[in-house]
Structure 1
Amino acid sequence: MKLLVDVGNTALKLALYKNDEITFISQHEVNWQDINQVLIASVRSNQQLDSLISDANERGVEVITAKVSAEQNGVSCAYQQFHNLGIDRWLVVLAAAHLYAGQSAIIVDAGTATTVDVLVEGKTHQGGWIIPGIDLMMESITSRAEKVFANELVSFENTVGINTPEALSYGCLAASLGLVAQARRLFGDNVRVLCTGGYGKLLSDHLENSEFIEDLVLRGLVAYAK
């Protein structure tokens, strides 16, 4: 059984992988007797991660930390300086190539930042965009514009707001959806969209021909190690 570790900008997620199934767990649920390999995707240093690696090393369990390369599993990276691409972005591209072999996809990871990456015909990463995530958008405005305020009771709707909290929430959603719309204008209106991250389900619900895959980074991690 494999232990999958995803260290994002905000949180560390753990999951078990066996028989092509991924099951999220907490750290206290890790049973090292069942683990034969640890696969890691990390965008930053983390004390909890260091502890996990130490535990694995003490037990002689193989640890693999994913890294971006110019080419992996038949997929080429758009970045000439490929090491500058975030590993989380690279893994969702590899996951898309694995899940939908030979197909094009727009991959959206809506977390602390919202990233969009484009994969063409399952083999060519064309690059992408990074913008502040929805929470960061809202915080950046409310912290610097005295008369703009949020209301936690206001949901996100794909329409125009008729008061300030609605205008803020709806506007941040619209900006994120607009990013995907622009990607489709550039690469094809019918290109499949794969969404992940904390706001991935929200975006997917407002996008046609889209799918929310909660464990997309982890799926990419598994594909990376094959």
Structure 2
Amino acid sequence: MILLIDAGNSRMKATTFSESVLGDVFSVPYDDKQPLDCLVSYLEAKSPVDSLVLVSVLGTKFEQAIKEYCTDKKIRLVWASSSQVAHGVKNNYDDPTALGSDRFVALVGAVKQFPKQYCIVVDCGTAVTIDGLTIEGEFKGGVILPGLQLWGQSLIGRTSQLKENNLKSPPLFAKNTADAIGGGSVYGLVGAVDSVCTKMKQHFIESGAKETSIKLVICGGDAALVASHSQLEFTLSPHLVLTGLVHYI
């Protein structure tokens, strides 16, 4: 069995891959658990596992623990990482290896899922990344914003009287503080995303792209919420990173 794992900052996404098809995707928030414990529990539930293809933002301690586990269990381990050129993506970061591996794998997913198109890829996780990709698969660069939870937490954490927020369905004209913070967080983030995407799209058009050849792609845990409030037309691809991981098998 082949497993694909996207180990993010706040949750793990996992699926199987068989006969060129992704299985059901499990999204598991870490909550009070250690990410390693969540991953090991999933692996043991799916045993026997032949191969594990993994992208992670959790650092070297987590990576070393997974390597030791896979060696002990005789599981083939494939780490997805950023590089200068791979799987149809040319990485123009100043230091290509410094680009977050999850961002790079999402770009691989975009190139494969939307070939011969300009792509603006928005990944709405703990942080929100917005990355530009040319029709030739050249990564132009991007921006990083605080994710939705961080918008609200930054305000609550620095004020003594504000203790909660409503991020799920905040009204525009809030009549209580929780809704007001939630609205500011949601509409503030959406406004920032729309502004950056519009600027990137205009840059591509001024560089000779046809508007119809530019695809706005959104993924990540808060993708549906952001897209629902956006003034732009996004293609929702919630498992874009897992789609990219397929090409590392």
Task: Bin the TM-score by the shorter chain.
Answer: 0.7 to 0.9
User: How far apart in 2 are the matches of 1:180 and 1:192?
Assistant: 15
Task: Select 2:217's aligned residue among 181, 184, 194.
Answer: 194
Residue 172 of structure 2: which of 155, 159, 175 is its match?
A: 159
Residue of 31, 50, 64 corresponding to 2:47: 31
- Determine if the alignment matches structure 1 residue 11 to structure 2 residue 35: no
Summarize the Cα distance change of 1:157–1:103 in structure 2 as closer, same or farther, 3 Å threshold. farther
2:130 alignment counterpart: 116
Which amino acid in the other structure matches residue 243 of structure 2?
R
Q: Secondary structure at the match of 1:188?
A: helix
Residue aligning to 1:205: 228
1:21 and 2:6 are equivalent in the alignment? no
- Residue 165 of structure 2 contacts residue 181 of structure 2 at CA under 8 Å; is this kept in 1? no
Cα 1:9–1:131 change in 2 (3 A) is same
Alignment partners' CA distance in 1, 2:175 and 2:14: 41
Question: 1:68-95: CA deviations, max 9, x gaps?
Answer: 0011122111212111111111111111
Q: If the length of structure 2 is used for normalisation, what is the TM-score?
A: 0.78
Deviations 1:159-203 (A, max 9, x none): 353443222111111222123222332232654222222211111
Structure-1-length-normalised TM-score: 0.85
Unmatched runs of 5 consecutive residues or more in structure 2: 27-41, 203-210
Comparing 125-134 with 44-53, greater Cα deviation is found at 44-53
Secondary structure of 1:116's match?
strand
Q: Distance in 1 between matches of 2:93 and 2:60?
A: 26
Q: Give 2:189's aligned residue.
A: 176
Structure 1 residues without counterparts, runs of 5 or longer: none
Counterpart-to-counterpart distance in 1, 2:131 and 2:244: 14
Query: How many residues are aligned here?
Result: 222
CA distance in 1, matches of 2:226, 2:11: 20
Q: How far off is 1:115 after superposition?
A: 1.4
- Is the Cα contact below 8 Å between 2:123 and 2:223 reproduced in 1? yes
Question: In structure 1, how many angstroms separate the alpha carbons of the residues matched to 2:104 and 2:129?
Answer: 11
1:141 aligns with 2:155: yes
What is the match of residue 74 of structure 1?
88
Task: Give the superposition deviation at 1:59.
Answer: 4.6
Fraction of identical pairs, as percent: 24
**Structure 1 SS opposite 2:218:** strand
Alignment of 1:128 onto 2:150: no
The letter for the 1-side match of 2:24 is T
From the superposition, tell whether residues 54 and 23 of structure 1 become closer, same or farther in structure 2 (CA, over 3 Å).
farther
Show structure 1 runs of 4+ deviating over 6 A.
Answer: 46-49
Query: Do the aligned residues in 2 keep the contact of 1:96 with 1:122 (CA within 8 Å)?
Result: no
Flag the 1:72–1:62 CA change in 2: closer, same or farther, 3 A: same
Deviations 1:33-74 (CA, angstroms, capped at 9, x unpaired): xx4321110111487766654443245432110110011122
Does the C-alpha gap of structure 1 residues 123 and 24 become closer, same or farther in structure 2, counting only changes over 3 Å?
same
Q: Residues of 2 paired with 1:135 and 1:46: CA distance?
A: 25
What is the RMSD computed on CA atoms of the aligned residues? 2.5
